[in-house]
Chain A
Amino acid sequence: MSLSSILEPAKSSVRRKAADPAAASSSLLPKPSLPAQRLLGPALVLALWYVASGAGWISPAKMPGPEAVLASLGELIADGTLAGDVVASLHRAGLGLGIGILSGFTLAVAAGLTRLGDALIDGLVQIKRSIPNLALIPLFIIWLGIDETMKIAIIALGTMVPIYINTHAGLRGIDRRYVELGQTVGLSHWRFLRHIVFPASLPGFFTGLRLAVTHAWTALVVVETINATSGIGFMITQARIYGQTEIVLVGLLLYGALGFSSDAFVRALERRTLSWRQSLAQ
């Protein structure tokens, strides 16, 4: 056996090894997304549902087919009740979320940037955080009654917490190096906040915002089953009483559509605002 034939296999295996890391690192990244690829899963479920109910495999009383649901959606749109209920729900969720964002952000800034604020606020919010928001409903009913105020207060309080926690973490976690830079270019306190502190805390704020939006819809579903006379939750409760399964499904689909589109909106806003970050998902 010649020396070269002994060496040859070893050489080629070395070459293969050298080529491997590049191949491995490219396959570590997820493949680039196709247009509207996220719709594939839902479309598949819809198709299954259509086939199963058309073939009579499921009882229409328990689970009406897509056509029945669509028909009842059409009716609800035509007689105007749906618009009223959706507006009422959007109003509640929007107002609660708005108050939650504003108060969460304000408290985070106060606690994140001042010692007094930190001493007064942070402990309280951490305690609030460990009490499930929906467990506060009985107390809020006693305090605020069973009207709109209670519903909006529950949504606001629940959305405030994730906004606060994530914005606060963003404000506190600022890189010391940027603080030094601010010192050496002689930034005033205000310019330091505007150019360094707030932009640095934005990613945290957006994380909080996405959690808050999700929470707003969850809280809405619960509060709308309590003494509501309008809203999607009210519509679902009524339909359950009268056994109108297709209307229950219309309500669920609406919750899903609203939740999905509001999350998509926040994500788009985040991408636009934080376009300086190039993340894996882009």
Chain B
Amino acid sequence: MASVARAVIPAQEDAAFRIRGLSRSFDGRTILAGIDLDIARGEFVALLGRSGSGKSTILRAAAGLDAGVAGAGSIEVPERRSVLFQDSRLLPWASVIDNVVLGSFAADARERARIALREVGLAGHEDKWPKALSGGEQQRVALARALVRAPELILADEPFSALDALTRLRVQRLLLQLFERHGPAVLFVTHDVEEALRLAGRIVILAEGRIVYDRPTTGVRESATRFEAARLEILERLGVSAD
């Protein structure tokens, strides 16, 4: 069984994420067929693909959550990285602030957690139980938990897909604000084309274990026609016909 080489990218390098020749297969079925992907520091990349295209596989591999899976290639990610899951994954027995502190090892972790909670608009909710919060608020706590680590790279696995449409728009806007303020590199897995176009600076599409599209979204958000054109093009690449 071939294994994947993992290494830490030092902070002075230009890239915050680098995979080379990453391949994966389960039960003889190829999930990833030798992927190369770089993400620069401060770059927001959306990774799109149909179900089973291997987008979550890349993310889980980068997050180090696939120990024991057969594969080959190399993964380089920074030491300080955060993962946003599809569910908020808050510990139900820990208060909101304790959940945020879980992400930090700094001596002043509690103070940092307070600041992070203020940034996601949840100041004053520190001592509540996660169960007492709405779905959107829970996902914002998860954002604060990711932020408190001052990550160089955020790996997000469809983090907003379980939220209702209005809440999703609000949390997307919040994520953009935080991204602009803190400037981490982001790998954002989603199946929502509009979400990808609204958030990302670059869109990568995965199909049958290969990258089939990799383009910046420059200027797309400035005009409705260009947004629509990009949306249709991406949908077509995803195998959904425009009409």
Contacts and interface: CB of A to CB of B under 8 A. Distances in A.
Nearest to A188: B105
A259 to B, nearest CB: 29
Interface stretch (B41-49, B91-99, B179-187, B225-233): B91-99
Contact of B91 (A186, A196, A275): A196
In the complex, the 3 A-B pairs of residues with the closest C-beta atoms, listed nearest first: A184-B83, A199-B93, A276-B129
Given A177-B87, A180-B65, 15 more contacts: A178-B89, A178-B91, A180-B89, A181-B102, A183-B64, A184-B63, A184-B65, A185-B103, A195-B94, A196-B91, A199-B93, A199-B94, A200-B93, A276-B131, A278-B131
Given A195-B102, A276-B131, A181 B94 contact: no
Nearest to B142: A181
Contacts of A186: 105
Nearest to A273: B93
- Per DSSP, are chain B's interface residues mostly helix, strand or loop, or mixed? loop
Interface of B: 63-65, 82-83, 85, 87, 89, 91-94, 98, 102-103, 105, 129-131, 145, 149
Contacts of B98: 195
A185 to B, nearest CB: 5
7 contacts: A177-B89, A178-B89, A180-B85, A183-B63, A185-B103, A199-B94, A276-B130
Interface residues of A, number: 19
A202 B82 CA distance: 28
A277 interface: yes
Contacts of A277: 92
B184 to A, nearest CB: 15
Interface in A139-191: 177-178, 180-181, 183-187
A183 B131 CA distance: 23
A183 B82 CA distance: 11
Contacts of A276: 92-94, 129-131
Contacts of A180: 65, 85, 89
B93 A202 contact: yes
A184 B64 contact: yes
A62 to B, nearest CB: 53
Contacts of A199: 91, 93-94
Contacts of A178: 89, 91
A202 B89 CA distance: 19
A276 B92 CA distance: 7
Nearest to B129: A276
Interface string A212-253: 000000000000000000000000000000000000000000
Nearest to B79: A186
Contacts of B103: 185
Contacts of A196: 91
A180 to B, nearest CB: 6
Given A199-B93, A202-B93, A181 B85 contact: yes
